[in-house]
Amino acid sequence: MATTADFKNGLYLDFNGKPCSIVWFQHVKPGKGPAFVKTKLRNLENGRILEKTFNAGEKIDVITVEHREYQYLYAEDDVFNFMNTETFEQVAIQKDLVANNDLMKEGQVVQMVFHVDGEEERCLTCELPTYVELQVTYTEPAVKGDTASTNALKEATLETGAKIMVPLFINNDEMIRVNTVDRTYGARVK
């Protein structure tokens, strides 16, 4: 058990039976009345941000969460199969636990977040690295003088089948860096 005095960004806690992490908090001591703590909590199961006000000194349940590196092996039906890079143990998780999973290719190393409760552990999320390097398999060729602005974009299909918008100068078979958070073009890879 912990109290609101132990709050810090990144602390994992059990809120209404759901695993959450503290994204932001502020201790408030008003002129009248008791002190309280305003917080923003991220639900680790669905990624939603919740706002909650706790009374100062209120007890909270801290939970144990572990981050582990896994390597993506293959997909079958509605699950992805991964291998722990240290123990070589394999685990299968639902596709909906991986955000932007169409940017993930075989052999990709990802971070998995596990909620550990005694002997039981459950995968909460699977996070891709912020940037991944992928090959462009198809994009329309750019036509000279095709644009009036300097930031014109065209659609490109990547080796994983994902489609993103890229600048006009990108051609087939080029390697590019893609931001996995907002699915945007980052840079060419030499």
All structural domains of the chain, each given as residue ranges with its CATH number in brackets, are 2-62 (2.30.30.30), 66-127 (2.40.50.140), 131-188 (2.40.50.140)
Three-state secondary structure call for residue 103 = helix
Query: What angle (nearest 5°) sits at the alpha carbon of residue 5, between those of residues 62 and 31?
Result: 140
State the pLDDT at residue 47: 81
φ/ψ of residue 99, rounded to 5: -75, 140
Query: Which residue, among 144, 143, 133, 139, has the nearest Cα to 173 in the 3D structure?
Result: 139
Rounded to whole angstroms, the Cα distance separating 42 from 39 reads: 10
- The CA-based diameter of the chain, rounded to the nearest angstrom, is 69
- CA 165/CA 152 separation, integer angstroms: 9
Q: Does the structure show a pLDDT above 70 at 149?
A: no
The confidence band for 179, taking pLDDT boundaries of 50, 70 and 90, is very high
For residue 90, what pLDDT is reported? 94
Tokens representing 122 are 């459950």
